[in-house]
């Protein structure tokens, strides 16, 4: 067989080309594999970063929800201002989070900034910072929550403002520290809902609520005591919660062991500067029937004639026995000096005939009543005094509170902006005879005048943001 050198060369050349092509293909495959591996690694890192970023954002939002629930429990004084807000807030927040101090959680104040160190809960990790808004009155604070996942952080912020918080004591139609007695044909009705005629007594022995005769109560009975003996029902004509069946009443309409609401602190001294006209033993009450912004000196024991009109505030010093003959109109409110240390027999306000109380809303828009018109939601506030209604009454547009309250005979009380009837002392609160009381619960934002309503913190709509880290 003939085999030339030229053919051998061509054969070797073809082998070289194939080798080069194979190497080139291999290189290309290696490059593609490396590129795909790098891309896969980058995608993995990107996915991990996105996952941690999402977790950090969720931590910030969850932390905000956690802190919002915590802040709802904080109460600040009713006179807190920009200069005292951060000190009070720091103290309150420190007390609230004190149980977490064993986990390393710290609350610190630096100037007008309060910081909460990192809180680690299952699956979330966040810290918080609060900054005072110096332009707001009442004060407000900007809360910024920082959520963390690894080395990635995200933020969420919202503004919280001070909002007056009223005690749950005002959610009851009648509430008293003393025994509540409803007898005869007395009725307690709810104007819009039966719950408006609910009754609470915080007295625990021997009896907190007693109902008898043909007493009619729209609402339910609440006592803080845990024994059913604290409620005494007698008579075959009783109706409570829509039923006359005693077994059903006791099982479905009597609530034992109710948590005792706060009886808010009272401040009637703020009304003294508004009571500019003195009434004492030398004042001739028969010289006219209209009295504007009066202060009744201690020991005067005035007897107001029929058709008396009280405009603005009537401030009663203690002791005093104040009597209204009948047809009394209160365009404003009656408040008393705190007579808790005096004999209640010497501290009385007695309405012996019909009366009505349109409240401060009935006052004209004139300078002498400008200040008192801002004190809404209360008609009578008499700490240490007993208050009695003996005649037909109507249109009592506000809360009635006294140490001892008695509704006797044919009283018929209803109101448009009505608050509750509050027994401030451990004295008997009585509804008897043919008295009928209709309670209309005011708006939950109504803060009755004369009480100290602590501030709480509420998030403000439209203030949420997600700040970008600098």
Q: Taking 90 as the threshold, does the pLDDT of residue 274 lie above it? A: yes
Q: Residue 415 has what pLDDT?
A: 43
8 A C-beta contact, residue 74 and residue 457: yes
Q: What's the average model confidence in pLDDT over 195-216?
A: 92
Closest CA to 423 of 232, 237, 169, 222: 169
Q: What's the average model confidence in pLDDT over 286-313?
A: 93
Q: Residue 455 has what pLDDT?
A: 93
Tokens found for residue 202: 């915080």
Stretch among 206-215, 356-365, 417-426 having the lowest mean pLDDT:
417-426
Q: Taking 70 as the threshold, does the pLDDT of residue 3 lie above it? A: no
pLDDT range class, residue 394, cuts 50, 70, 90: low
Whole-number percent of the chain with pLDDT over 90: 61
DSSP letters, 236-253, are: TT-EETTB--HHHHHHHS
In angstroms, rounded to a whole number, what is the distance separating the alpha carbons of residues 91 and 74?
10
Closest CA to 85 of 12, 156, 139: 139
Q: Residue 219 has what pLDDT?
A: 95
pLDDT range class, residue 416, cuts 50, 70, 90: very low
Q: Taking 90 as the threshold, does the pLDDT of residue 321 lie above it? A: yes
Q: Residue 341 has what pLDDT?
A: 86
Pairing assessment for the beta strands 399-407 and 455-459 based on DSSP bridges? unpaired
Q: What is the pLDDT of residues 105-148, one digit of tens each?
A: 999 999 999 999 999 887 788 999 999 987 888 889 999 999 98
Q: What's the average model confidence in pLDDT over 395-409?
A: 90
Q: What is the pLDDT of residues 77-101, one digit of tens each?
A: 988 988 899 999 999 999 999 999 9
Q: Is the dihedral of CA 357, 358, 362, 368 positive or negative?
A: positive
Q: What is the pLDDT of residues 160-194, one digit of tens each?
A: 999 989 899 999 999 999 999 999 888 899 989 99
Average pLDDT, the chain: 87
Residues 6+ apart with CB under 8 A from 406: 386, 387, 388, 389, 429, 430
């Amino acid at each position: 067989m003939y085999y030339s050198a030229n053919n051998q060369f061509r054969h070797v050349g073809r082998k070289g080309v194939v080798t080069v092509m194979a190497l080139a293909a291999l290189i290309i495959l290696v490059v593609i594999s490396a590129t795909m591996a790098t891309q896969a690694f980058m995608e993995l890192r990107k996915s991990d970063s996105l996952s941690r970023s999402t977790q950090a954002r969720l931590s910030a939002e969850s932390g905000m929800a956690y802190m919002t629930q915590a802040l709802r429990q904080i109460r600040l004084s009713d006179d807190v201002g920009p200069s005292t807000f951060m000190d009070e807030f720091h103290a309150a927040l420190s007390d609230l989070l004190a149980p977490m101090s064993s986990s390393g959680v710290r609350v610190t104040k630096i100037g007008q900034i309060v910081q909460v160190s990192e809180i680690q809960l299952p699956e979330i990790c966040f810290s918080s910072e609060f900054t005072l808004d110096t332009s707001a009155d009442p004060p407000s604070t900007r809360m910024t929550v920082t959520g963390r996942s690894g080395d990635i952080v995200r933020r969420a912020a919202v503004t919280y403002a001070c909002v007056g918080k009223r005690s749950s004591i005002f959610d009851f139609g009648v509430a008293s520290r003393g025994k509540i007695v409803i007898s005869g044909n007395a009725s307690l009705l709810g104007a819009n809902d039966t719950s408006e005629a609910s009754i609470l007594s915080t007295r625990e022995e021997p009896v907190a609520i007693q109902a008898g005769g043909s007493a009619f109560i729209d609402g339910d009975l609440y006592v803080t005591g845990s024994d059913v003996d604290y409620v005494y029902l007698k008579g075959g004509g009783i109706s409570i919660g829509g039923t006359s069946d005693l077994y059903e009443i006791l099982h479905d309409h009597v609530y034992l062991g109710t948590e005792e609401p706060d009886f808010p602190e009272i401040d009637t001294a703020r009304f003294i500067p508004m009571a500019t006209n003195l009434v004492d033993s030398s004042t001739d009450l028969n010289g006219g029937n209209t009295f504007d912004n009066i202060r009744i000196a201690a020991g005067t024991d005035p007897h107001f004639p029929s058709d008396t009109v009280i405009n603005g505030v009537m401030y009663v010093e203690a002791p005093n026995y104040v009597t209204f003959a009948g047809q009394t109109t209160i365009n404003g409110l009656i408040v008393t000096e705190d007579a808790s240390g005096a004999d209640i027999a010497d501290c009385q306000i007695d309405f012996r005939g019909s009366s009505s109380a349109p409240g401060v809303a009935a006052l004209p828009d004139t300078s002498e009543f400008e200040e008192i018109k801002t004190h809404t939601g209360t008609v009578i506030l008499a700490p240490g005094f007993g208050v009695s209604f003996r005649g037909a009454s109507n249109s009592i547009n506000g809360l009635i509170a006294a140490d001892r309250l008695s509704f006797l005979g044919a009283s018929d009380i209803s109101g448009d902006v009505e608050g509750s009837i509050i027994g401030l002392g451990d004295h008997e609160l009585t509804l008897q005879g043919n008295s009928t009381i209709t309670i209309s619960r005011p708006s939950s934002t109504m803060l009755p005048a004369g009480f100290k309503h602590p501030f709480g913190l509420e998030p403000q709509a439209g203030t949420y943001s997600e700040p970008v880290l600098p």
